[in-house]
Amino acid sequence: MVTESPRASTAGADELLAHVGRLRADADLMDGYARRLRATAATLAACPAAPGWSRPALARQAAACASAADRLRSAAEALLTHARGDGPVTGSWTAAP
Amino acid sequence: MRADGTAPGRPAPGGPDPGEVLRGCARDVLEVAEGIRAVAERTATTLHAPGLTAAARSRPRTGLAARWALRRALTGGRGLGAPAATTPVEGPRRGAARALGAAGRALGGESLAALVALTSLRLRVAAVLADHPELAQAPGMRLLTRALAAERDRDAVRALRTLLHDRTAQRALSGLAPLISQLLAVRDVLDGDSESGAAPGAEGGAEAVDLADQRRRTLATEGSFLGFLRNIEVLSTDGRILIQNVRGPDAVVRYVLQAPGTAPGRPRSDAPQDLVGAWRDLCGTDSPYTRSLVRAVAGHGIPRGAELALIGHGEGGNAVLNLAQDEEFCRTYRVTHVIAVGSPAGDRKPADPRTWVATVTNRFDLVAAPDGSSADVGALPDRAGPAVPAAPAGTATPTNPAGPADPADRTAPAAPAGPAAPVDRTDSAFASPAAPVAPTGGTAPGTRVARTGSAAPVDRTAPAAPGASVPRTGSATPADRTGPAASARPAAPAASARPAAPADRTPPVAPASPAAPGSSVTRTGPAGPADRVGPTGSAVPADHTVPPAPPSRAGRYDVEYAGPGREFPLCHRLREYIEHLRTLVPAARADIDEALTPYRGPVVRTQAYRLKDHVHPPAGHPFLTLATAPVRTTVGPVDVPVRYYDSAAAHLCFPVDPAAARSLLPDAAWLTPSRLGHRALAVLSVHEHRCTTIGPYTEIALSVLVDDLWRPRPYDAVTDLLRRVDLRRTGRYVLSLAVTTEAARVVAQEIWGQPALRMRVEADLTGREIRARSQDLGLVVEGRLGPGVRCPDADRALYGRRATSTVRTLVRAHGRLRLHPGAGVRVRLGTAAAEPLAGQLRRLGIDTARPLFVLACPQFMAHRGGGAVLAR
């Protein structure tokens, strides 16, 4: 019969929490990418040689980045819920800066 | 017209350069794409993390929810998209991640990173075309724009992915110098699977070969910088290099290795590879080219420790710069000079710190300075692989106090690193005031020269540079020779950061000669009298904006100038560089000549070597693996068979009146048009030759099918279709031929006996829509090819006339020829269309008719032998 030791369970929870932190940081990164793409679109608006398709395409992709950021946060929450049930997790997780 | 008086699409006066804005945006967007890819990979890693998998088994409710949320973030419609194949997941999970990505793509969801990378590449293409509209017609650019022009983004990503893996397209793509770094980066984002080029340590080889008499006669017999460059030009770009033994002014025999590069539109000596592999081969220190050079030097019998100068153009410049980085090579021989013309030099440092490195770059040469951005040069090898260790920009390199870092440094050079050369080497020549010094012109205004090392007195009585057309705009200070660009730039490190050397107090030199605008000369290290900063107060023309000088590097002499024309690939040609060094930047030429003083003497031995690449088969192998022989022409010897590595063709076949066809043939009774029923057959052929041994060109030819010259039989034309080309009795007599290059005209006329004219022709025959236009001829061929069927290769026998004889040439082709109905294609002839082609088309009635059928092939290889002269 195989039993799971508490120490192994704690290690697994820590690993999951590390993933949660990375997911939240990546969500913030994706928000940053969305902002950068919007800023690039704004720069191109002032450029006479910019192709007409470029601004809508960048706006579309910025929206996709923001959407991906939301999904990453949702995934982080789901993973955090799972991790809380996996070991002694106390307090709330703060995303890495 | 806008309120500021400028047209839409044009930069506002004083505003930022639109090309630069687009490039900046493209870079920014690419960074975002790479970031998104990294996020996707991390998310995939989390999804497949062993901890999560194990925990999900023990508590499936929350575990499965977490995994579902992660999967949704990756593969949902508005999520990150499928992760790239480079995900760091290991083992069997890597396969799962790959399957996940493939499934995502199959369901129509391209990764967000790929879509953003696509936007970046599109912006970069727009930037390149804004600066270099002539590149729109380059074969690689056409392939790329066609792939990027797909209606939906995800289709464009797929087309791009396919294109980047298409080996037949690599040759064309690798010609897109300004886009290479972007293409490699986008390729990484798309799928990350980079094939390596040559295996590390790939073997190269070199075999001594004789040069044709005509080539040998044109080689320089005295050592000089321009002489060496002209030798490289004579060598052409067919995989040969030259090593010359030169007896210097001090009677010491030294060696000069001269390496040509590849020219756009001419074949490389190896087969096209994966884009990354091709670029690694170009830039890698361990590339077959570089290793072949080592073999050639070893085969030449150069004694250990002997002094050696390495000079190269384009890819050859790259190879010699790589060679100078080879520590073992530099231990064996004393590499005193490395000179690269039109090569992306980057910050490569030679293994021997005493080696003097000079680079000459036309700012508009996209091979040497891709996209006009020196940052790209450094970035390129990094993207391609770790082969080229590029020093970080701005790294301060200690000045080289020992070596002859400057041409004017006449101090004795340090002893060779290896064992002493078995030559009586005295250093007196370095110090000898009698050493020949070429008359020096001035540095062109705007010329930037970066020089390092100590300078020594040079008594320059500089007359006005011959051919330098820009008038002097300021008075020269004594000992002040750098172009006005340097002085105009407030913070030109080359000019301002140099400590004054005592030599600056040597007697004043004659005023520097006029210099070309837009060039810059940067020297680093202690300034000497040779460091004459040019006429102050002259402004750099607005269209020759001088970018900041590169950081100082030891042992370097970097010349960057703006040539008169920015058309690529014209500005990459060695002939252009030679002309510019002669007329536009004569001071740079003189400086380098001075540096080469030990090599300026009679040439006592010349030996050419053909480089061999043991790793890759030769280009076009096995179809184009042929024995060749040079044939003398007025443009120099031409190797026949002429080989066509990458061509496209459309043959428009018209049934015509036999009498009209006969009237256009020469007045010889034995030349009769073949009849197919009651009609003869005329063929209007359009060829786009993108890569040939005589350079790229386009041609339009009108020919008529003719019977056997001796024993015409009624159905020869039909039965010949079943025969091999060399057994055919019929052939096509070429009535008119228009080609776009002088070399092609001369070859067609002098070797094949065809009546060729040089005309401007543009053709695009690679898609279903074919189009050819010649302004000079007043002729347009355009239309859409309908459904087609495969048919045998278009081998053919062509006839021409030379004096009173007929010349028969066999053409063998290998490609995917297809037969299409001619209904969708038409010929339009302008009212002022030029003779003779227009008249012949009218007499045959082709100007208003549609072809019966079209034989088209978007890509094929071919070779044309020398013409056999027949007594008819």
Tell me, yes or no, whether A57 lies in a domain.
yes
Contacts of A85 in chain B (CB under 8 A): 59, 62
Nearest chain B Cα distance for residue A10, angstroms? 11
Q: Which residue has the higher pLDDT, B256 or B158?
A: B256
CB contact under 8 A, B28 and A50: no
Report the pLDDT value the prediction gives residue B139, as an integer from 0 to 100. Answer: 74
How many whole angstroms separate alpha carbon B621 and alpha carbon B130?
38
Strand partners, B763: B772
Report the pLDDT value the prediction gives residue B198, as an integer from 0 to 100. Answer: 44
| B residues 42-101 closer than 8 Å to A (CB) | 42-43, 46, 49, 51-52, 54-56, 58-59, 62-63, 65-66, 68-70, 72-73, 76, 78-80
Decide if pLDDT at B551 tops 50.
Answer: no
Tell me, yes or no, whether A26 lies in a domain.
yes
What is the rounded average pLDDT of the residues B615-640? 84
Q: Which residue has the higher pLDDT, B494 or B359?
A: B359
- Cα distances (angstroms) measured from residue A78 to each of A82, B60, B76, B89: 6, 12, 16, 21
How many whole angstroms separate alpha carbon B46 and alpha carbon A80?
13
Contact A27, A76 (CB under 8 A): yes
Contacts of A4 in chain B (CB under 8 A): 58
Decide if pLDDT at B270 tops 60.
Answer: no
What is the rounded average pLDDT of the residues B513-533? 42
What is the rounded average pLDDT of the residues B852-865? 92
What is residue B836's three-state secondary structure?
coil
Q: How crowded is the C-beta side of B705, counted as CA atoms within 13 Å? A: 27
Interface test with A, best of B4, B22, B23, B46 (most A CBs within 10 A): B46
Range with lowest mean pLDDT among B147-161, B184-198, B204-218, B234-248: B184-198
Strand partners, B818: B790, B856
Q: Which residue has the higher pLDDT, B390 or B562?
A: B562
What is residue B100's three-state secondary structure?
helix
pLDDT, tens digit (0-9, with 9 covering 90-100), for B303-336: 999 999 999 988 788 888 888 988 889 999 999 9
Tell me, yes or no, whether A10 lies in a domain.
no
H or E element: which one contains B19? helix B18-47
Question: Among all chains, which residue has been given the structure tokens 């505003």?
Answer: B15
Nearest chain B Cα distance for residue A81, angstroms? 7
Q: Residue B340's pLDDT band (boundaries 50, 70, 90)?
A: very high
Show the beta-strand stretches assigned E in B476-545: 520-523
Q: Is B25 on the interface with A (CB under 8 A)?
A: yes
pLDDT, tens digit (0-9, with 9 covering 90-100), for B108-130: 567 888 889 889 888 888 888 88
What is the rounded average pLDDT of the residues B838-845? 90
- What's the ipTM? 0.84
Contact A75, B63 (CB under 8 A): no
Judged by phi (left if over 0) then psi (alpha if -120 to 50, else beta), residue B239 lies in left
Contacts of A44 in chain B (CB under 8 A): 21-22, 25, 123
Nearest chain B Cα distance for residue A6, angstroms? 13
Range with lowest mean pLDDT among B47-61, B483-497, B691-705: B483-497
Which among B220-224, B386-390, B494-498 has the top mean pLDDT? B220-224
Cα B252 to chain centroid distance, Å, stands at: 37
Decide if pLDDT at B442 tops 70.
Answer: no
Q: Is B13 on the interface with A (CB under 8 A)?
A: no
Nearest chain A Cα distance for residue B171, angstroms? 28
H or E element: which one contains B418? none
How many whole angstroms separate alpha carbon B656 and alpha carbon B357?
64
How many whole angstroms separate alpha carbon B111 and alpha carbon B592?
52
The two beta strands, B603-613 and B556-561, are unpaired
Nearest chain A Cα distance for residue B11, angstroms? 7
Contact A95, A28 (CB under 8 A): yes
The two beta strands, B779-784 and B769-774, are antiparallel
B575 class by beta-carbon count within 10 Å (0-12 exposed, 13-18 middle, 19+ buried): exposed
CB contact under 8 A, B46 and A22: yes
Strand partners, B815: B860
Report the pLDDT value the prediction gives residue A38, as an integer from 0 to 100. Answer: 94
Structural domain range at position A77: 17-84
Please tell me which of the candidates B51, B70, B78 has its beta carbon nearest to residue A15.
B51
Range with lowest mean pLDDT among B246-255, B742-751, B786-795: B786-795
Residue B583: CB atoms within 10 A of its CB come to: 18
The first and second tokens of residue B835, run together, are 């003779």
Tell me, yes or no, whether A51 lies in a domain.
yes
Contacts of B70 in chain A (CB under 8 A): 75, 78-79
Q: Which residue has the higher pLDDT, B614 or B446?
A: B614
What is residue B779's three-state secondary structure?
strand
CB pairs under 8 A between A and B: 155
- Cα distances (angstroms) measured from residue B266 to each of A52, B169, B263, B342, B641: 36, 15, 5, 17, 15
Cα B448 to chain centroid distance, Å, stands at: 24
Identify which of B727, B694, B726, B853 has the alpha carbon closest to the alpha carbon of residue B789.
B853
How many whole angstroms separate alpha carbon B561 and alpha carbon B186?
31
Which among B335-344, B421-430, B477-486, B667-676 has the top mean pLDDT? B335-344
Report the pLDDT value the prediction gives residue B100, as an integer from 0 to 100. Answer: 57
Report the pLDDT value the prediction gives residue B314, as an integer from 0 to 100. Answer: 82
Q: Is A29 on the interface with B (CB under 8 A)?
A: yes
Which among A49-58, B165-174, B516-525, B568-577 has the top mean pLDDT? A49-58
Q: Which residue has the higher pLDDT, B214 or B278?
A: B214
Q: Which residue has the higher pLDDT, B674 or B215?
A: B674
Q: Residue B468's pLDDT band (boundaries 50, 70, 90)?
A: very low
How many whole angstroms separate alpha carbon B191 and alpha carbon B573?
35
Report the pLDDT value the prediction gives residue B570, as an integer from 0 to 100. Answer: 75
Q: Which residue has the higher pLDDT, B80 or B122?
A: B122
H or E element: which one contains B810? strand B805-815
Strand partners, B764: B771
User: Which amino acid is located at B435 in the chain?
Assistant: A
Strand partners, B679: B676
B630: cis peptide before it, omega within 30°? no
Tell me, yes or no, whether A58 lies in a domain.
yes
B329: which residues sit within 8 A by CB, 6+ positions away? B294, B297, B323, B335, B351
Low-confidence ranges of chain A (pLDDT < 50): 1-2, 4, 88-97
Which among B12-26, B252-266, B275-289, B812-826 has the top mean pLDDT? B812-826
How many whole angstroms separate alpha carbon B455 and alpha carbon B394?
23
Report the pLDDT value the prediction gives residue B125, as an integer from 0 to 100. Answer: 86
CB contact under 8 A, A61 and B119: yes
Question: Among all chains, which residue has been given the structure tokens 């703006």?
Answer: B562
How many whole angstroms separate alpha carbon B107 and alpha carbon B753?
58
**Please, what is the Cα angle at B185 between B181 and B186, to 5 degrees?**
115
Nearest chain A Cα distance for residue B779, angstroms? 32
What is the rounded average pLDDT of the residues B23-49? 88
Q: Residue B269's pLDDT band (boundaries 50, 70, 90)?
A: low
How many whole angstroms separate alpha carbon B456 and alpha carbon A52?
57
Domain count, chain A: 1
B836: cis peptide before it, omega within 30°? yes
B569: cis peptide before it, omega within 30°? yes
Q: Is A42 on the interface with B (CB under 8 A)?
A: no
Identify which of B77, B99, B88 has the alpha carbon closest to the alpha carbon of residue B40.
B88
**Please, what is the Cα angle at B704 between B698 and B706, to 5 degrees?**
135
Q: Is A96 on the interface with B (CB under 8 A)?
A: no
Q: What is the crossing angle of helices B50-58 and B60-75, to 10°? A: 140
User: Which amino acid is located at B611 in the chain?
Assistant: L
Report the pLDDT value the prediction gives residue B369, as an integer from 0 to 100. Answer: 64
Decide if pLDDT at B2 tops 50.
Answer: no
| B residues 128-157 closer than 8 Å to A (CB) | 130, 153
pLDDT, tens digit (0-9, with 9 covering 90-100), for A68-86: 999 999 999 988 888 777 5
Report phi then psi at B681, rounded to 5. Answer: -120, 120
Tell me, yes or no, whether A31 lies in a domain.
yes
- Cα distances (angstroms) measured from residue B67 to each of A72, A81, B47, B54, B57: 12, 12, 6, 12, 11
Q: What is the mean pLDDT of chain B?
A: 72
Q: How far apart are the first and last CA of chain A?
A: 44
**Please, what is the Cα angle at B452 between B578 and B227, to 5 degrees?**
20
Tell me, yes or no, whether A94 lies in a domain.
no
What is the rounded average pLDDT of the residues B445-452? 52
Report the pLDDT value the prediction gives residue B397, as an integer from 0 to 100. Answer: 32
